[in-house]
Amino acid sequence: MTRKKSRRSAAKKPPAQTATAHTQKTAPTVRGNLSVHPRGFGFVNRPEPHDDIFIPKPLMNGAIDGDTVEVVVSPGARGKGPEGRVVAVIERKRKKIVGTVVDVTKKKAEIFSSILGEMHPIECAIQKSHPLNVGERVILDVLSWGQKKEPTRCRLSSSLGSIDDPATDVGFAIAENDIREPFSTSCIQEAKSLGNRVKTADLTGRADLRHLECFTIDPDTAKDFDDAISLESTDSSYRLGVHIADVSHYVRPGTALDEEAKLRCNSTYFPNTCIPMLPGELSEQLCSLRPNVNRLTVSVFITIDQKGKTTDWEIVRSVIKSQKRFTYKEAKQVLDGTLKSPHAPTLRRMVALCDLLKQQRTERGSVQLYIPEAVVKVNEDGVPTGMEIIEYDITHQMVEEFMLKANEVVAIELGRMGRHVSYRVHEEPADESLQEFSQMVSAFGFSLPPIPKPQDIQKLFLEAQDSPNAAYLATCYIKSMRLACYSPDNIGHYGLGLEHYCHFTSPIRRYIDIIIHRQLFEGGIEKEKLSDLCLSASEKERVSARAEGSVRTLKKLRLLNKTRTAHKPYTAIVTRVKPFGIYFDLVDLMLEGFLHVSQLEDDYFLFDDSTSSLYGEYEGFTYRSGDKITVSCLAVDLIGQEAKWRLIPCQ
């Protein structure tokens, strides 16, 4: 019998990277700040967001998130943007490292930090006053970063507790991502000095809309209510009212509240916990549009005809008194007829208007994706108790459409006023990303052109809407897109199919929205200053997303570890196929996993670049994106935030 070839030989990557490095020797260099994605790759930010430089994980050269780096740039391949490699770290932003103890000797402890990765050792001298234990989460002062293979040497600053305690997860993510948490005394004093009621003097010059039927619709757990909605209609048109908390009335430029909000840029949301941009006295009380109390707002009234086209609008500072705080579930029950409400007729008219606006989105090429959200439920101690699937039903769609319309109208109005605008922009996806998505959907029995247009994507999701894989396809499409960001240069919003778009509707939780409010009523901002604000807001948004994603992943791994057995099967879908193995998503947990090529069936696997697939030379086993597989969990590594998997062969 002929001996089979070693499977490891098939797992080697092609030596393209060496050639790339050679061609970059004479390429230009630039300096910028590095933002690192949880998967290890990064972007070097430059003033123009569409010129951000992609840095592959192997080309980081020891740089970490927040560093100022020098980068050698090369043109992107196959339709992608510019790519590069780090050649020097100019300045380290971080003075501390947050990590977990993985080994302890008499004199030192070895620390793992996701920021530096497992290939870069971190050492901390043992202090007699605080002996360290494996699994202990620690904050370290950096003494020396080390060069090449030398370890980073640190001393203990403080301990956050054991990784075995789920209550430490949020605190660890806050420290790891350097998220500002406690408010200064001056911030709290300023917030309290504003009181807890709207003052009579503050009503001067405002449109009095307290007679208007308006209400809020938010998630069950929401405490900060940014927006209320109203709707009046005639036989020929609708008059939609979007009423947004007037945070800029209270948060004045140069105050302690303003400076703190500028540093935070946004609120950060964890399971059962929020790190707010503004103190609770404002975010949950005075600014929050709670029912049956006076609240200061900025109201956008938009006239829309019976075909869904916007014909006019008006933007005013106002005072409202919300009549009801709906949860999405309650609003849906009213629409379904299982809950009685005096607001039922208005809710039904809102659904009719929502349908018209959705039709307008379809006509302009905006792909509408209504994906269920998998939320990890945790108790007061941070222990995950299960998953809840929240359907993106008509009530969610309705609020989304109304907020999108208000944001669009405000962006257009500011442009007409001659203001520089902090636009929310979204570039077209790279051709290569669209090609990969097109290949992937073919595995599910659907077809797309090699580089699909928005209309092709729309058609796909209409065909797939009753398919059990519809939500998964939508998630894959989102992953193929570039990240949206803020910019003073209006390059449009690809995902929404809009030429003008900004963020105006959430000033309690986004600083850039406060800036938009000021530009409406208090004058413009010079472009250079606005560019700095946009860059800062985009960076802080990515940091919050990374922290939030890290905690969600860890909670899912804890839940997996609690319920798994050695032979318990899990259904998964292959998401990416590489020469060295396959990535997959667990259907129930929406958790990513990986199987090395050596863990697949006993065969010699070859990688087909044209179809992004692995196929067995002898037995014919084939793996493509979209394939369903069954796996079992061998172990859960909470420190590395990953699980070890085993393939369960098809019977």
Q: Encode pLDDT of 542-567 as tens digits.
A: 999 999 999 999 999 999 999 898 78
Question: What is the pLDDT, as a whole number, of residue 596?
Answer: 94
Per-residue confidence (pLDDT) for residue 9, from 0 to 100: 36
- Specify the pLDDT at position 76: 58
Residue spans per domain, the chain:
8-91, 96-176, 185-420+500-526+536-552, 564-647
| SS3 call for 278 | coil
* Whole-number Cα distances in Å, 406 to 91, 284, 641: 41, 23, 40
Residue-level pLDDT at 24: 39
What was the pLDDT predicted at 75? 66
Residue 415 burial by Cβ neighbours in a 10 Å radius (0-12, 13-18, 19+): middle
Fold observed for domain 564-647: OB fold (Dihydrolipoamide Acetyltransferase, E2P) (2.40.50)
Return the pLDDT at 16.
Answer: 33
DSSP, collapsed to helix, strand or coil, labels residue 290 as coil
Regarding the domain delimited by 96-176, which CATH topology (the fold level of the hierarchy) does it fall under?
OB fold (Dihydrolipoamide Acetyltransferase, E2P) (2.40.50)
Domains 96-176 and 564-647 share a fold: yes
* Sign of CA pseudo-dihedral 29, 34, 37, 41: positive
pTM for the model: 0.88
According to the model, what pLDDT value does residue 56 have? 87
Cβ–Cβ < 8 Å for 587, 374: no
The fold of 8-91 is OB fold (Dihydrolipoamide Acetyltransferase, E2P) (2.40.50)
Low-confidence residues in the chain, pLDDT < 70: 1-27, 38-39, 46-51, 75-81, 148, 651
Please give the DSSP secondary-structure letter assigned to residue 498: B
Where do we find the tokens 């390429």?
27
The pLDDT score that the predictor gives to residue 624 is 86
| pLDDT of the residue at 80 | 60
Neighbours of 569 (CB within 10 A): 11
